Amino acid sequence: MKHVVVTGGAGFIGSHVADAFIERGYRVTVVDNLSSGDRRNLNPRAEFIETDIRDFDIRPLRPDVVSHHAAQMDVRKSVADPVFDTVVNVVGSVRLLQQCVEAGVKRFIFASTGGAIYGEPVYVPQDEKHPVNPLSPYGCAKLAVEHYMHYFREVHGLSTVALRYANVYGPRQSAHGEAGVVAIFARRMLAGQPVTINGDGGQTRDFVFVRDVVAANMAVAESTVAGPFNVGTGVETTINSLYLMMAKLIPGAPQATHAPAKVGEQMRSVLAASLRKPDVNVAEGLAETVDWFRSA
Protein backbone atom coordinates (compact mmCIF):
# COMPACT_ATOMS: atom_id res chain seq x y z
CA MET A 1 0.00 0.00 0.00
CA LYS A 2 1.37 3.39 -0.99
CA HIS A 3 1.80 5.94 1.77
CA VAL A 4 1.12 9.70 1.43
CA VAL A 5 1.74 12.44 3.96
CA VAL A 6 -0.63 15.39 3.58
CA THR A 7 0.64 18.44 5.44
CA GLY A 8 -2.18 20.84 6.31
CA GLY A 9 -4.52 17.88 5.92
CA ALA A 10 -7.01 19.15 8.52
CA GLY A 11 -7.54 22.32 6.50
CA PHE A 12 -10.08 23.16 3.83
CA ILE A 13 -8.26 21.92 0.71
CA GLY A 14 -5.87 19.51 2.40
CA SER A 15 -8.66 17.50 4.02
CA HIS A 16 -10.39 16.97 0.68
CA VAL A 17 -7.07 15.86 -0.82
CA ALA A 18 -6.53 13.44 2.07
CA ASP A 19 -10.02 11.98 1.51
CA ALA A 20 -9.25 11.43 -2.18
CA PHE A 21 -6.00 9.61 -1.44
CA ILE A 22 -7.83 7.34 1.00
CA GLU A 23 -10.43 6.57 -1.65
CA ARG A 24 -7.56 5.64 -3.98
CA GLY A 25 -6.33 3.07 -1.48
CA TYR A 26 -3.42 5.02 -0.02
CA ARG A 27 -2.34 4.91 3.58
CA VAL A 28 -2.70 8.56 4.64
CA THR A 29 -0.89 10.46 7.38
CA VAL A 30 -2.15 13.97 8.07
CA VAL A 31 0.19 16.54 9.62
CA ASP A 32 -1.42 19.73 10.92
CA ASN A 33 -0.90 22.12 13.83
CA LEU A 34 -4.63 23.05 13.78
CA SER A 35 -3.83 26.76 13.65
CA SER A 36 -6.35 27.06 10.84
CA GLY A 37 -7.32 23.42 10.34
CA ASP A 38 -10.21 21.72 12.09
CA ARG A 39 -10.34 18.27 13.68
CA ARG A 40 -13.82 17.83 12.23
CA ASN A 41 -12.25 17.75 8.76
CA LEU A 42 -10.06 14.75 9.59
CA ASN A 43 -10.87 11.48 7.91
CA PRO A 44 -11.16 8.76 10.58
CA ARG A 45 -9.16 6.42 8.35
CA ALA A 46 -6.15 8.77 8.35
CA GLU A 47 -3.37 8.77 10.91
CA PHE A 48 -3.08 12.23 12.48
CA ILE A 49 0.07 13.92 13.77
CA GLU A 50 -0.55 17.26 15.46
CA THR A 51 2.59 19.32 14.99
CA ASP A 52 3.95 22.42 13.28
CA ILE A 53 5.59 21.95 9.91
CA ARG A 54 8.67 23.71 11.31
CA ASP A 55 9.05 20.99 13.97
CA PHE A 56 8.03 17.98 11.89
CA ASP A 57 10.51 15.34 10.73
CA ILE A 58 9.14 13.26 7.87
CA ARG A 59 12.15 10.96 7.59
CA PRO A 60 10.98 8.21 10.00
CA LEU A 61 7.72 7.86 8.01
CA ARG A 62 9.45 7.35 4.64
CA PRO A 63 6.28 7.98 2.59
CA ASP A 64 5.97 7.49 -1.16
CA VAL A 65 4.22 10.83 -1.76
CA VAL A 66 4.10 14.17 0.07
CA SER A 67 1.23 16.59 -0.56
CA HIS A 68 2.37 19.85 0.98
CA HIS A 69 -0.55 22.11 1.86
CA ALA A 70 0.58 23.39 5.27
CA ALA A 71 1.23 27.13 5.12
CA GLN A 72 0.87 30.52 6.69
CA MET A 73 -2.01 31.39 4.36
CA ASP A 74 -3.01 34.89 5.47
CA VAL A 75 -1.82 37.40 2.88
CA ARG A 76 -2.45 40.30 5.27
CA LYS A 77 -0.38 38.61 7.97
CA SER A 78 2.44 38.10 5.48
CA VAL A 79 2.44 41.84 4.84
CA ALA A 80 2.37 42.65 8.55
CA ASP A 81 5.09 40.11 9.44
CA PRO A 82 7.05 38.97 6.38
CA VAL A 83 9.73 37.34 8.51
CA PHE A 84 7.23 34.99 10.18
CA ASP A 85 5.71 34.23 6.78
CA THR A 86 9.15 33.38 5.40
CA VAL A 87 10.07 31.13 8.31
CA VAL A 88 6.87 29.09 7.94
CA ASN A 89 6.36 29.09 4.19
CA VAL A 90 9.94 29.09 2.91
CA VAL A 91 12.17 27.66 5.63
CA GLY A 92 9.55 25.11 6.70
CA SER A 93 9.10 23.97 3.10
CA VAL A 94 12.83 23.79 2.34
CA ARG A 95 13.41 21.67 5.48
CA LEU A 96 10.64 19.37 4.28
CA LEU A 97 12.14 19.14 0.78
CA GLN A 98 15.56 18.23 2.21
CA GLN A 99 14.01 15.57 4.42
CA CYS A 100 12.10 14.16 1.44
CA VAL A 101 15.38 13.64 -0.39
CA GLU A 102 16.85 11.88 2.65
CA ALA A 103 13.73 9.74 3.10
CA GLY A 104 13.59 8.62 -0.54
CA VAL A 105 10.19 10.23 -1.25
CA LYS A 106 9.09 9.46 -4.80
CA ARG A 107 6.77 12.45 -5.42
CA PHE A 108 6.40 15.92 -3.87
CA ILE A 109 3.27 17.96 -4.67
CA PHE A 110 3.23 21.62 -3.63
CA ALA A 111 0.14 23.77 -3.17
CA SER A 112 1.22 27.05 -4.74
CA THR A 113 -0.78 30.11 -5.76
CA GLY A 114 -1.87 31.64 -9.05
CA GLY A 115 -2.99 35.20 -8.46
CA ALA A 116 -0.48 35.95 -5.71
CA ILE A 117 2.46 34.82 -7.88
CA TYR A 118 1.47 36.48 -11.15
CA GLY A 119 0.26 39.81 -9.77
CA GLU A 120 -1.82 42.15 -11.93
CA PRO A 121 -2.21 40.53 -15.35
CA VAL A 122 -0.20 41.63 -18.35
CA TYR A 123 -2.61 39.48 -20.38
CA VAL A 124 -5.50 37.15 -19.59
CA PRO A 125 -6.00 34.38 -18.96
CA GLN A 126 -2.69 34.11 -17.15
CA ASP A 127 -0.81 31.00 -18.21
CA GLU A 128 2.35 29.52 -16.72
CA LYS A 129 4.50 31.67 -19.01
CA HIS A 130 2.98 34.88 -17.64
CA PRO A 131 5.50 37.12 -15.82
CA VAL A 132 5.67 36.44 -12.10
CA ASN A 133 5.38 39.67 -10.13
CA PRO A 134 4.18 38.84 -6.61
CA LEU A 135 2.88 41.82 -4.64
CA SER A 136 2.89 40.20 -1.19
CA PRO A 137 5.40 38.29 0.93
CA TYR A 138 3.00 35.34 0.71
CA GLY A 139 3.32 35.30 -3.10
CA CYS A 140 7.09 35.79 -2.85
CA ALA A 141 7.33 32.81 -0.50
CA LYS A 142 5.35 30.49 -2.77
CA LEU A 143 7.52 31.48 -5.74
CA ALA A 144 10.69 30.95 -3.70
CA VAL A 145 9.59 27.42 -2.79
CA GLU A 146 8.96 26.68 -6.46
CA HIS A 147 12.57 27.70 -7.18
CA TYR A 148 13.82 25.47 -4.38
CA MET A 149 11.76 22.62 -5.83
CA HIS A 150 13.54 23.10 -9.16
CA TYR A 151 16.87 22.86 -7.34
CA PHE A 152 15.93 19.69 -5.48
CA ARG A 153 14.58 18.15 -8.69
CA GLU A 154 17.59 18.98 -10.87
CA VAL A 155 20.34 18.40 -8.31
CA HIS A 156 18.91 15.69 -6.04
CA GLY A 157 16.43 13.96 -8.37
CA LEU A 158 13.35 14.59 -6.23
CA SER A 159 10.21 14.38 -8.39
CA THR A 160 8.35 17.64 -7.70
CA VAL A 161 5.33 19.47 -9.09
CA ALA A 162 3.75 22.81 -8.16
CA LEU A 163 0.02 23.44 -8.56
CA ARG A 164 -0.87 27.13 -8.75
CA TYR A 165 -4.38 27.43 -7.36
CA ALA A 166 -6.87 30.10 -8.36
CA ASN A 167 -9.53 31.18 -5.81
CA VAL A 168 -10.60 27.86 -4.33
CA TYR A 169 -14.02 27.55 -2.71
CA GLY A 170 -16.34 24.80 -1.54
CA PRO A 171 -17.51 22.81 1.50
CA ARG A 172 -15.34 23.04 4.65
CA GLN A 173 -13.95 26.46 3.79
CA SER A 174 -13.62 28.61 6.88
CA ALA A 175 -15.43 31.94 7.02
CA HIS A 176 -12.97 33.25 9.62
CA GLY A 177 -9.61 34.94 9.29
CA GLU A 178 -8.17 35.15 5.77
CA ALA A 179 -11.11 33.28 4.28
CA GLY A 180 -12.34 33.22 0.74
CA VAL A 181 -15.07 35.62 -0.26
CA VAL A 182 -17.51 32.76 -1.00
CA ALA A 183 -17.28 31.46 2.57
CA ILE A 184 -17.62 34.94 4.04
CA PHE A 185 -20.62 35.77 1.88
CA ALA A 186 -22.31 32.42 2.57
CA ARG A 187 -22.00 32.68 6.34
CA ARG A 188 -23.25 36.25 6.49
CA MET A 189 -26.05 35.89 3.95
CA LEU A 190 -27.42 32.74 5.59
CA ALA A 191 -27.38 34.57 8.94
CA GLY A 192 -29.34 37.46 7.43
CA GLN A 193 -26.38 39.81 7.74
CA PRO A 194 -25.33 42.22 4.99
CA VAL A 195 -22.12 41.57 3.09
CA THR A 196 -19.59 44.23 2.24
CA ILE A 197 -18.06 44.49 -1.22
CA ASN A 198 -14.81 46.43 -1.36
CA GLY A 199 -14.73 49.02 -4.11
CA ASP A 200 -17.23 48.94 -6.96
CA GLY A 201 -17.31 45.13 -7.11
CA GLY A 202 -15.97 45.05 -10.65
CA GLN A 203 -12.80 43.24 -9.65
CA THR A 204 -12.65 39.72 -11.05
CA ARG A 205 -11.48 36.40 -9.69
CA ASP A 206 -11.20 32.86 -11.03
CA PHE A 207 -13.31 30.71 -8.70
CA VAL A 208 -12.38 27.03 -8.86
CA PHE A 209 -14.37 24.40 -6.96
CA VAL A 210 -12.43 22.32 -4.46
CA ARG A 211 -13.36 19.05 -6.19
CA ASP A 212 -11.56 20.23 -9.33
CA VAL A 213 -8.53 21.11 -7.21
CA VAL A 214 -8.56 17.61 -5.75
CA ALA A 215 -8.79 16.13 -9.25
CA ALA A 216 -5.72 18.12 -10.28
CA ASN A 217 -3.81 16.74 -7.30
CA MET A 218 -4.80 13.19 -8.20
CA ALA A 219 -3.80 13.78 -11.83
CA VAL A 220 -0.19 14.55 -10.89
CA ALA A 221 0.22 12.25 -7.88
CA GLU A 222 1.58 9.27 -9.78
CA SER A 223 3.07 11.06 -12.81
CA THR A 224 6.49 12.61 -13.31
CA VAL A 225 5.39 15.95 -14.82
CA ALA A 226 7.17 18.89 -13.21
CA GLY A 227 4.96 21.91 -13.79
CA PRO A 228 4.19 24.44 -12.50
CA PHE A 229 0.57 24.00 -13.51
CA ASN A 230 -2.34 26.38 -13.05
CA VAL A 231 -5.45 25.01 -11.39
CA GLY A 232 -8.26 27.33 -12.41
CA THR A 233 -11.20 27.65 -14.76
CA GLY A 234 -10.21 30.34 -17.25
CA VAL A 235 -13.43 32.17 -16.38
CA GLU A 236 -13.54 35.61 -14.74
CA THR A 237 -16.32 36.37 -12.27
CA THR A 238 -16.83 39.82 -10.80
CA ILE A 239 -17.53 40.11 -7.08
CA ASN A 240 -20.83 41.78 -7.93
CA SER A 241 -21.82 38.79 -10.07
CA LEU A 242 -20.75 36.41 -7.33
CA TYR A 243 -23.02 38.17 -4.85
CA LEU A 244 -25.99 38.08 -7.24
CA MET A 245 -25.53 34.36 -7.92
CA MET A 246 -25.40 33.63 -4.20
CA ALA A 247 -28.39 35.88 -3.49
CA LYS A 248 -30.47 33.72 -5.84
CA LEU A 249 -29.51 30.69 -3.75
CA ILE A 250 -30.29 32.43 -0.44
CA PRO A 251 -33.72 34.09 -0.65
CA GLY A 252 -34.11 37.08 1.61
CA ALA A 253 -30.40 37.80 1.80
CA PRO A 254 -29.73 41.46 2.65
CA GLN A 255 -28.59 43.85 -0.04
CA ALA A 256 -24.82 44.13 -0.32
CA THR A 257 -23.11 47.30 0.82
CA HIS A 258 -19.97 48.82 -0.65
CA ALA A 259 -16.88 50.00 1.18
CA PRO A 260 -13.79 51.82 -0.11
CA ALA A 261 -11.55 49.72 -2.28
CA LYS A 262 -8.62 48.02 -0.56
CA VAL A 263 -5.34 49.73 -1.31
CA GLY A 264 -3.32 47.61 -3.72
CA GLU A 265 -6.06 45.07 -4.36
CA GLN A 266 -5.61 43.19 -7.60
CA MET A 267 -8.36 44.10 -10.07
CA ARG A 268 -8.23 41.06 -12.35
CA SER A 269 -7.18 37.45 -11.85
CA VAL A 270 -7.99 34.53 -14.13
CA LEU A 271 -5.84 31.48 -14.82
CA ALA A 272 -5.58 29.44 -17.98
CA ALA A 273 -6.76 25.92 -17.11
CA SER A 274 -3.84 24.13 -18.74
CA LEU A 275 -3.58 20.96 -16.63
CA ARG A 276 -7.22 19.89 -16.95
CA LYS A 277 -10.56 21.46 -17.73
CA PRO A 278 -12.77 21.91 -14.67
CA ASP A 279 -15.77 19.64 -14.19
CA VAL A 280 -17.78 22.07 -12.02
CA ASN A 281 -18.90 25.52 -13.16
CA VAL A 282 -19.39 28.39 -10.73
CA ALA A 283 -23.18 28.10 -10.57
CA GLU A 284 -23.02 24.39 -9.73
CA GLY A 285 -20.21 24.83 -7.24
CA LEU A 286 -21.92 27.70 -5.45
CA ALA A 287 -25.14 25.71 -5.09
CA GLU A 288 -23.29 22.81 -3.48
CA THR A 289 -21.27 25.15 -1.28
CA VAL A 290 -24.30 27.08 -0.03
CA ASP A 291 -26.05 23.79 0.74
CA TRP A 292 -23.07 22.73 2.84
CA PHE A 293 -22.96 26.02 4.76
CA ARG A 294 -26.71 25.80 5.29
CA SER A 295 -26.41 22.33 6.84
CA ALA A 296 -23.20 23.13 8.75
Q: Is position 148 annotated as part of the catalytic site?
A: no
Burial (CB < 10 A; 0-12, 13-18, 19+), residue 73, is buried
C-beta atoms surrounding 265 within 10 Å: 11
Strands 204-205 and 237-238: antiparallel
* Catalytic site residue from 26, 118, 138, 165: 138
- Separation of alpha carbons 257 and 22, rounded Å: 43
Strands 27-32 and 3-7: parallel
Q: Residue 31's closest CA among 180, 3, 104, 23?
A: 3
CA dihedral 101, 102, 105, 108 (to 10 degrees): -40
- Separation of alpha carbons 20 and 14, rounded Å: 10
Residues involved in catalysis: 138
